[in-house]
């Protein structure tokens, strides 16, 4: 079941989650994958509004999603899997995008912290930290040849990843085959 919610609004998020549980009877898997990015700009030109928006969606939204899902899974008493979408930028900073890098680094640590907190309830929390993926969010960056070449030079396989490749990692983390994975990026 797909439901729509603003990840910055816990009550709306919880209502969407409750609607899915009402329709399906339970919650087993959640992917916290809402995220935004912006045009690269030096830190000295970064507005406070842009910083707050980035952190609100990319980090606070993940925390609120994890909290709502974790509460539901713990209440059900049968565990579950939470999969957060982080970014390689959470570990390897990119120039002119501190707001994005910091928000994604926060997702890395949030994942590890909640994995410890939820472990006794058999709720696994993991994240995927993809590199440069061919999505609409990276389209403008990929169109700029200088940025494109810089990104490709930082990518061991010399190409951009595909959304399906991230989806396959998420499917693995959601599956029983990943039953011993928690707190992993």
Q: Hey, which residues are catalytic here?
A: 100
Q: How far apart are CA 7 and CA 165, in angstroms?
A: 24
The torsion angle over the Cα atoms of residues 156, 162, 168 and 174, rounded to 10 degrees, is 100
Q: How far apart are CA 80 and CA 77, in angstroms?
A: 9
Q: How far apart are CA 177 and CA 62, in angstroms?
A: 24
- Cα separation values, 102 from 36, 37, 91, 114, Å: 13, 12, 9, 18
Q: How far apart are CA 74 and CA 164, in angstroms?
A: 30
């Amino acid at each position: 079941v797909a439901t729509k919610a603003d990840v910055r609004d816990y009550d709306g998020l919880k209502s969407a989650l409750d609607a899915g549980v009402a329709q399906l009877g339970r919650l087993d898997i959640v992917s916290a994958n809402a995220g935004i990015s912006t045009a690269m700009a030096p830190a000295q030109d970064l507005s406070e509004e842009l910083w707050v928006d980035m952190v609100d969606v990319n980090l606070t939204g993940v925390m609120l999603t994890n909290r709502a899902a974790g509460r539901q899974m713990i209440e059900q008493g049968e565990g579950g899997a939470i999969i957060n979408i982080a970014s390689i930028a959470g570990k390897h900073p990119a120039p002119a995008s501190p707001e994005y890098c910091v928000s994604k680094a926060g997702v890395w640590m949030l994942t590890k912290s909640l994995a410890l907190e939820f472990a006794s309830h058999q709720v696994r929390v993991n994240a995927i930290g993809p590199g440069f993926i061919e999505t609409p969010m990276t389209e403008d960056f990929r169109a700029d040849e200088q940025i494109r070449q810089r990104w490709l030079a930082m990518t061991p396989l010399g190409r951009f990843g595909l959304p399906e490749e991230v989806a396959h990692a998420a499917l693995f983390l959601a599956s029983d085959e990943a039953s011993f994975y928690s707190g992993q990026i």
